[in-house]
Structure 1
């Protein structure tokens, strides 16, 4: 019998997390699902951890290491469910996550993309993600434009997004040619074609800090946004969304003293799409940016989370 949900997990060296992640799926109050795990060439005990869980709904595959996008694409190709639920191999769902998504689908059967809010786990505790949705209220449901709702944080993440199986047929899967920003690229392609049914209920714990782009991006890996220039010209929401991403990459370039990348990102930004704080930061020298970055980290240690996006 075809499952309602296919839960898609690309796995690489998450031996300390994958069992808890899968158990959070098996504990769901909505039980009509399969779990597709694609081991993308792990060199640790990840395979042992998966095989220690006995449940006929877990379908385990392995391949040589090709990267997270290739692993996710492999999982997509093996899914048989009507709806595909993305899940990173170290994140956790609340037990009513799939039940809530099922309710969203029932309420809005004409839509194809669904998401919940997330809680971000950092080294200094949990932080509730914030979104640029007007008059947003806790546990309310919204049908939103992806770009306009994601100026502060993205409403789509790789653990809180569920799409109808036809979505990937229409927009394509993850772009394996990209060295970084594969998720953002996918969200942009989704946002150009679909609205998002979003519930402001934090049902996903997203272990963000360990895999944060700012913690692992090398100078040569910074994403480019050239593919979207033609769409930016006619889509102000997309233009602002990408300018905010360019702002983040420009600040990262300053932190790394990567002047060429900074100039590349900064020249494409319409300053009208930035708030006063962001405009101020872009004009500061590297020394000031590094001091402010250090101050931000220190404040996080005391549970104070500063952001240029709000």
Structure 2
């Protein structure tokens, strides 16, 4: 039986850590692989890093800055592999992840996504170990249940709309893409090992879009209207859970000592301000 080829896609924009991602891809023990790096309009410093590792890269795509989804889709279009592994340019995998992931795919055709446990870390060191839930489409309706850097089949990407190129404004393009992969069946498998290292940065996309999380969720629901209609009861239950959680957080903030002290101090100042208007 012929061994299936793996294409590892690294999209990069102004990232000094890209060298770690390139070496992570290069050091994967799975033998039949190609590394495709998409330089999404990076600055000269990042281009210099990429250039210094070009002997480790099989295909280098250079484009103007168009966002991560466009970069990923363009990388996958050039891929010749049966399997696709997306790798963000500031993260890295353990060397044996690809081999273990492909073994899972080859033994179970119902698997659409392979992910794993992740060590989350920042400049100070380890934060925690995160375990995605995995599972079928029901596990993905209200939250992403796989890491953004995961493996899937190229054919499944071809049958979908790919990574949505309008959603990066809101973030969570990984989540929406996984919904596409799973809405007609199959499931995401979680390898029960810490094989991925996820870097937390203050200026990351995830950090920047926290304040518009309801907008991005609304976007996904409206795009997959029939899917959520078919799961209407679960949708309503989740919606009210979100409302209750927000009310709880709001009330907890109102009860904080700092808030009460601040209210005492600011109330007379606000009165004086109104008086002199």
Could you say which TM-score interval applies, normalised by the shorter chain?
Answer: 0.7 to 0.9
Output the CA distance in 2 between the equivalents of 1:228 and 1:282. 29
Tell me, in whole angstroms, the C-alpha distance in 2 between the residues paired with 1:34 and 1:106: 19
- The 5 Å alignment of 1:35-54 reads 35-54=35-54
Instruction: Confirm or deny: 8 A CA contact 2:139 2:145 kept in the other structure.
Output: no
Report Cα offsets for 1:266-290 as digits up to 9, x if no partner: xxx233x78x7x365255276569x
Q: Say whether the 8 Å CA contact 1:116–1:155 is kept in structure 2.
A: no
Judge conservation of contact 1:131–1:150 (CA < 8 Å) in 2: no
Distance 1:132 1:35, change over 3 A: closer
CA shift, 1:56, in A, is: 5.8
What is the RMSD of the two structures over their aligned residues, measured on CA atoms?
A: 3.4
Q: Structure 1 residues 91 and 157 mapped into 2: Cα distance closer, same or farther (>3 Å)?
A: same
Once the two structures are superposed, the pairs formed by residues 1-310 of structure 1 within 5 Å of their partners are 4-14=5-15, 16-55=16-55, 57-122=57-122, 125-132=126-133, 144-148=135-139, 154-159=144-149, 161-178=150-167, 179-181=169-171, 182-193=173-184, 194-210=186-202, 212-213=204-205, 215-217=207-209, 222-223=215-216, 224-225=218-219, 226-235=222-231, 239=235, 243=238, 269-271=239-241, 278=245, 281=248, 284=251, 287=254
Q: TM-score, normalising length from structure 1? A: 0.69
Q: Distance in 2 between matches of 1:87 and 1:127?
A: 20
- Rg (Cα) greater in structure: 2
Structure 2 CA distance, aligned partners of 1:220 and 1:112?
29
Query: Aligned to 1:73, what secondary structure does the other structure show?
Result: helix
1:141-176 alpha-carbon deviations (Å, 9 max, x no partner): xxx21442787x7432221x1111111122211111
Structure 2 unpaired stretches of 5+: 260-277
- Closer, same or farther in 2 for the Cα pair 1:163/1:130, shift >3 Å? closer
Asked if 1 retains the 8 angstrom alpha-carbon contact of 2:133 and 2:146, the reply is no
SS in 2 for 1:112: strand
Q: Is the Cα–Cα contact under 8 Å of residues 6 and 33 in structure 1 kept in the other structure?
A: yes
Unaligned runs of 5+ in 1: 134-143, 244-268, 293-310
Contact 1:148 1:237 in 2 (8 A): no
Q: TM-score if structure 2 supplies the norm length?
A: 0.76
Cα 1:167–1:43 change in 2 (3 A) is same
Cα deviation for residue 131 of structure 1 reads 4.1
* 1:173 to 1:238, Cα distance in 2 relative to 1, 3 A: farther
CA distances 1:222-249 after superposition (whole Å, capped 9, x unpaired): 41332234321222697389x4xxxxxx
